[in-house]
């Protein structure tokens, strides 16, 4: 447990010091939302909640890929990933520590993205946003779990950062559809029962991604 | 003789059909030190990686504490320290923070009290709170040694630990190695050329065309503190 806490605390300390991940993630979210607003309705005016939800999830996906990549790449400096592999820390615990760091960076970016979404899409700061919170938290957790594993794979390959979106996005599509549907329903004020099935799909994919990452991370970071 | 803590049995390693190591046999007991020399590209770093469990042998076995190094238990990994060409240090953490991180990673609560002593011992007291990214290569190497030895390992694998060090740094490594051997640590280190250290006897080997050849043991008590054979 101390090793797990040490890795997580170190990642958060490095991020607090440089701000590289969160600044990049927030800037990316801002860029995506601005582009979406102008692409969907350049003349301005009232936007619908489902469209806002779709824009938010696009921002979530791209921000998540950036966050996970940076969490893994930080360990490639000076061979630090090798040090972690050689340490007594269980590889599964290492995976959870890294995905948790990616999730925290992603969650910070998502808070900023939600605020921007409300402003850009002329929505209200009301209780509907509270219903949105668990949906995007589940989405961020699942995507962090998937992209942390895939970032560890792509980090070993030449131009692997180009490979990450090619691998991550198609695999996340079912969860993405569920997330967009659930978020759209939550933002329109539909009852929880209306989007509960989508939430169940999100939870199922989170479990799959977490279990897969936990079991495979050891093999992924091992060298030939 | 005590059972070997570090052992290679018929170790082969091939990269892209090119044999790097062939039939390497090695055994290092507690309190013994083996020095492996060889030219650039001879396979020294590959051997260290294989012994550490960072790489899979094409054939043969690499053992630490009597177990395959590739699948060491957590409790055995706690007793292992590795020094490679990479420092394993985080550039945006200070020297002290790096050592604190490794102490926590290895679950060594008592090690925190030792960190100032280690920083002082490797001659970095004035740079303890400077970020590692501002360090010279030699300073990084000194901190790397502190990082490795902080955990009081029983097995120490060092790939060219004298690289980038000045004369004081080489003497520092020599002192650290003597202390480690004195507390029964088993050591494998690599170097380009044979190096003699006062008060320390190495079993010397050379890698030639992928094969590990035993050379004569280096006598202890060489007059110079450190002597590099030409």
- Dump pLDDT digits (tens) for B184-201: 999 999 998 888 888 888
Residues B158-185, buried b or exposed e (16+ Cβ, 10 A)?
bbbbbebbeeebbebbbbbbeebbeeeb
- Which of these ranges, A40-44, B2-6, B183-187, B194-198, has the smallest mean pLDDT? A40-44
Nearest CB to B86 within list A6, A78, A89: A78
Q: How many CB pairs under 8 A join A and B?
A: 75
For A76, the closest chain B residue by CA position comes to B88
pLDDT at B226: 38
Q: Is the pLDDT of residue B138 over 70?
A: yes
Tokens representing residue A73 in the block: 């790449």
Q: What's the ipTM?
A: 0.88
Distance of alpha carbon A65 from the chain centroid: 7
* B64-84 pLDDT tens trace: 999 999 999 999 999 999 999
Provide mean pLDDT across the span B51-69: 95
* B17-40 pLDDT tens trace: 899 999 999 999 999 999 999 999
Which residues have C-beta within 8 Å of that of residue A145, sequence separation ≥ 6? A99, A206, A209, A210, A212, A213
Higher-scoring residue by pLDDT: B200, B158: B158
For A16, the closest chain B residue by CA position comes to B92
Is the Cβ pair B107, A3 closer than 8 Å? yes
Bridge partner residues of B90 (DSSP): none
CA torsion through residues A34, A39, A41, A47, sign: negative
Bridge partner residues of B155 (DSSP): B80, B186
The contact set of B with A (CB < 8 A) is 49, 52-56, 74-75, 77-78, 80, 82, 84, 86-93, 97, 101-102, 104-107
Is the Cβ pair B77, A86 closer than 8 Å? yes
Model confidence band, residue A161 (pLDDT cutoffs 50, 70, 90): confident
Distances (CA, A) of A32 to A22, A43, A164: 15, 18, 19
Residue B34 CA to residue B203 CA, distance in Å, equals 5
pLDDT at B51: 96
| Average pLDDT along chain A | 87
pLDDT at A201: 95
Is the Cβ pair A82, B78 closer than 8 Å? no
Q: In chain A, which ranges are continuous DSSP H helix?
A: 2-18, 20-40, 49-73, 80-86, 91-120, 127-154, 160-187, 192-221
Instruction: Give me the phi and psi of B41, to 5 degrees please.
Output: 80, 5
Higher-scoring residue by pLDDT: B203, B220: B203
- Kindly state the DSSP code that residue B190 receives in the 8-state scheme: E
CA quadruple A157, A158, A163, A167: dihedral, nearest 10: -10
* Closest listed residue to residue B140, CA positions, set B82, B85, B195: B85
A5 vs B contacts (CB less than 8 Å):
104
Is the Cβ pair A88, B75 closer than 8 Å? yes
Provide mean pLDDT across the span A144-154: 89
Of the residues A8, A14, A78, the best mutation for testing chain B's interface (the one with the most B CB atoms within 10 Å of its CB) is A78
Provide mean pLDDT across the span B176-190: 94
Q: Is the pLDDT of residue A164 over 60?
A: yes
For B102, the closest chain A residue by CA position comes to A6
């Amino acid at each position: 447990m101390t090793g797990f806490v040490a890795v997580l605390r170190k990642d958060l300390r490095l991020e607090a010091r440089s701000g590289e991940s969160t600044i990049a993630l927030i800037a990316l979210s801002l860029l995506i939302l601005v582009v979406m607003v102008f692409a969907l309705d350049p003349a301005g005016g009232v936007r619908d909640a489902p469209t806002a939800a779709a824009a938010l999830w696009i921002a979530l996906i791209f921000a998540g890929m950036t966050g996970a990549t940076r969490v893994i790449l930080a360990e490639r400096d000076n061979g630090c990933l090798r040090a972690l592999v050689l340490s007594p820390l269980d590889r599964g615990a290492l995976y959870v520590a890294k995905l948790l760091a990616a999730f925290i960076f992603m969650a910070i970016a998502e808070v900023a993205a939600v605020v921007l979404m409300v402003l850009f899409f002329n929505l209200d700061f009301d209780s509907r946003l509270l219903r949105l919170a668990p949906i995007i938290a589940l989405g961020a957790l699942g995507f962090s779990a998937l992209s942390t594993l895939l970032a560890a794979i792509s980090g070993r390959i030449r131009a692997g950062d180009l490979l990450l979106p090619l691998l991550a996005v198609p695999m996340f599509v079912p969860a993405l559809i569920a997330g967009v549907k659930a978020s759209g329903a939550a933002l329109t004020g539909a009852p929880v029962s209306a989007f509960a099935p989508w939430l169940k799909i999100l939870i199922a994919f989170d479990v799959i991604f977490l279990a897969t990452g936990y079991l495979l991370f050891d093999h992924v970071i091992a060298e030939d | 003789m005590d059972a070997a803590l570090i052992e290679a049995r018929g170790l082969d390693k091939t990269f892209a059909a090119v044999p790097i190591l062939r039939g390497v046999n090695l055994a290092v007991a507690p309190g013994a030190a083996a020095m492996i020399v060889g030219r650039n590209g001879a396979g020294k770093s590959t051997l260290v990686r294989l012994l550490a469990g960072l790489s899979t042998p094409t054939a043969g076995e690499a053992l630490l504490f009597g177990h395959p190094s590739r699948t060491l238990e957590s409790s055995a990994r706690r007793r292992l320290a590795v020094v490679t060409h990479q420092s394993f240090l985080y550039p945006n953490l200070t020297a002290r923070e790096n050592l604190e991180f490794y102490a926590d990673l290895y679950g060594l609560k008592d090690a925190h009290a030792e960190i100032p002593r280690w920083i002082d011992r490797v001659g970095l007291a004035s740079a303890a709170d400077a970020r590692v990214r501002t360090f010279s290569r030699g300073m990084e190497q000194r901190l790397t040694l502190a990082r490795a030895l902080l955990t009081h390992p029983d097995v120490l694998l060092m790939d060219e630990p004298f690289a980038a060090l000045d004369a004081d740094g080489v003497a520092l490594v020599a002192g650290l190695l003597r202390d480690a051997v004195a507390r029964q640590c088993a050591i494998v280190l690599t170097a380009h050329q044979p190096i003699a250290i006062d008060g320390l006897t190495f079993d010397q080997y050379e890698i030639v065309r992928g094969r590990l050849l035993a050379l004569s043991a280096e006598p202890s008590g060489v007059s110079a503190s450190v002597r590099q054979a030409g």
